[in-house]
Amino acid sequence: MEHMAESIHLSKHHGLGNDFLVCLFDHLPGDAPARAIAWCDRHTGIGADGVIFGLPAAPGSGSDIVMRLLNSDGSAAEISGNGLRCFAQAVARQQGRRDVRIDVSTPAGIRSCDVHATDDPATVMVTVDMGTVRSGPDPDAGHRMAASAAPFASVKRWETGDIGNPHVVCEVDDPDAIDLQVVGPAIESLFAAGANVHFAAVSGDDELSIRVWERGAGITNACGSGAVVAADVFHRWGLVGRNVIVHMPGGNARVDIGDSLRLTGPAVHIADVVVADR
CA distance 34 to 12: 18
> Domain extents for the chain?
7-131+264-276, 134-258
Q: Which CATH number fits domain 134-258: 1.10.357.10, 3.10.310.10, 3.90.100.10, 3.20.20.70?
A: 3.10.310.10
pLDDT tens-digit profile of 29-42?
Answer: 999 999 999 999 99
| Rama region for 138: left / alpha / beta (φ>0; ψ in -120 to 50; rest) | left
- CATH number of the domain located at residue range(s) 7-131+264-276 in this protein: 3.10.310.10
Are the C-beta atoms of 85 and 267 separated by less than 8 Å? Answer: yes
pLDDT tier for residue 136 given thresholds of 50, 70 and 90: confident
Instruction: Name which of 74-78, 97-101, 149-153, 197-201 the model is least confident about.
Output: 149-153
pTM of the model as a whole = 0.91
Q: What is the pLDDT of residue 4?
A: 46
Instruction: Name which of 26-30, 124-128, 248-252, 269-273 the model is least confident about.
Output: 26-30
Exposed (0-12), middle (13-18) or buried (19+): which is 133, by Cβ within 10 Å? buried
Are the C-beta atoms of 79 and 90 separated by less than 8 Å? Answer: no
